[in-house]
Amino acid sequence: MPEKMACFQYIVAALCFAVLLEGSLSKAQLTPTFYDETCPNVTAIIRHVLVNASFSDPRIGASLIRLHFHDCFVQGCDASILLDDPVNGEKEAIPNNNSARGYEVIDAMKAALESACPNTVSCADILAIASEQSVSTLAGGPSWAVPLGRRDGFTANRTLANSNLPGAHTFGRAQCLTFTSRLYNFTGVGDTDPTLNTTYLEELRQICPQGGNSSVLTNLDPTTPDGFDNNYFTNLQVNRGLLRSDQNLFSTEGADTIEIVNRFSSNQTAFFESFVESMIRMGNISPLTGTEGEIRSNCRAVNSATIRSNSDAALVSSI
């Protein structure tokens, strides 16, 4: 399902990134000042497009954060998820197909940046900045200086995208199909998930009636659905985690994550600090820098010159 990952959920990425990613972090020197001379208004331009998009689409913040995560966990942070590729495209991978969204907003950001600073800002960096702005500007969460200087990759990898990809749970929405088994048939005998708060159970049944439309959306965080805060953790303490994979963090007897849920529930500052660290670490997974990759003019396709160059190289090697 699109809202799961192998280790923990995106929202507790800080709990495992420091250990799991240590060996894969790039030594490349990304820096928040990368565009200071070449495109000093890059963040303001992205913020403007993002805020305008949010007026008609309150889900866009969570969607763009998810795109950034799903990009970085496949070949590194190289904007491969944005490529339109009918054969290897990551958009059609199982965790993304009919689920990942926000591509048109990235297109609008790219168009605005190409107008202001042609051939300068990579699509990979747009995803990174848009994620930070989604958290800080749209959702009232923490802000951070985004390390920049990534370049865009030439290929997508659907096979990798079909393996463990993270979700985003502190705000955003989930389809009924991701949790209805908890409401009606938890163990296959018509029962409900015993860890689900009974009042919350009835609320969810009203939204997702048995046999109803499985694509209906409901809030991942029933308390502050569009805010970025630590209510995700307090929800788990009272058995109001929407997804079973979330609730397991608190309801699994003896789990190490229980102490973390309790700590972040009582200390939002600690959660924000850990989250920011995890975002910076994740954004530094194997970026292309220097002369690697390219700066796409269209985030959905590699540049035509790159295609010609690669074709010429293949022709030469075959002679």
Give per-residue pLDDT as tens, 113-156.
Answer: 999 999 999 999 999 999 999 999 999 999 999 999 999 999 99
Q: Does 68 participate in catalysis according to the annotation?
A: no
pLDDT in tens, 29-49: 899 999 999 999 999 999 999
Residue in 4, 47, 68, 70 annotated catalytic: 70
Residue 94 banded pLDDT, cuts 50, 70, 90 = confident
Domain range summary for the chain, segments of one domain joined by +: 41-168+291-302, 173-279
**Top-confidence residue, 95 or 315:** 95
- Whether 4 shows a pLDDT value over 50: the answer reads no
Three-point CA angle 23, 27, 28, nearest 5°: 140
**Mean model confidence pLDDT for the chain:** 87
DSSP state of 294: B
Three-point CA angle 105, 110, 111, nearest 5°: 95
Residue 311, classified by CB atoms within 10 Å of its CB into exposed (0-12), middle (13-18) or buried (19+), is exposed
**What is the Rg, in whole angstroms, of the alpha carbon atoms belonging to the chain?**
20
Write the CB contacts of 8 (distance below 8 Å, at least 6 apart in sequence): 15, 16, 249, 257
Consult the annotation and say whether 169 binds a ligand: yes
The pLDDT value recorded for residue 270 is: 93
- Whether 222 shows a pLDDT value over 90: the answer reads no
- Concatenating the DSSP letter of every residue in 275-291 gives HHHHHHHHHTBS-B-TT
Write the CB contacts of 105 (distance below 8 Å, at least 6 apart in sequence): 49, 50, 53, 57, 60, 64, 130
Consult the annotation and say whether 125 binds a ligand: no
313: helix, strand or coil? helix
φ/ψ of 101, rounded to 5, equals -150, 175
Residue 174 banded pLDDT, cuts 50, 70, 90 = confident
Consult the annotation and say whether 78 binds a ligand: yes
Please provide the distance, in angstroms rounded to a whole number, between the alpha carbons at the two ends of the chain: 46
272: helix, strand or coil? helix
CATH architecture of 41-168+291-302: Orthogonal Bundle (1.10)
pLDDT in tens, 182-213: 999 999 999 999 999 999 999 999 999 999 99
Residue 271, classified by CB atoms within 10 Å of its CB into exposed (0-12), middle (13-18) or buried (19+), is buried
Consult the annotation and say whether 74 binds a ligand: yes
- Dist. CA 246–CA 264, nearest whole Å: 14
Consult the annotation and say whether 90 binds a ligand: yes
Span 214-242, average pLDDT: 90
Q: Spelled out in words, what is the top-level CATH class assigned to the domain 173-279?
A: mainly alpha
62: helix, strand or coil? helix
The pTM (predicted TM-score) of the whole model is: 0.84
> Given the structure tokens 């990304």, which residue do they identify?
30
**Top-confidence residue, 123 or 304:** 123
> Given the structure tokens 């700066």, which residue do they identify?
295
- Whether 16 shows a pLDDT value over 90: the answer reads no
The pLDDT value recorded for residue 124 is: 98
Span 176-181, average pLDDT: 93
The pLDDT value recorded for residue 97 is: 85
The pLDDT value recorded for residue 309 is: 52
Consult the annotation and say whether 170 binds a ligand: yes
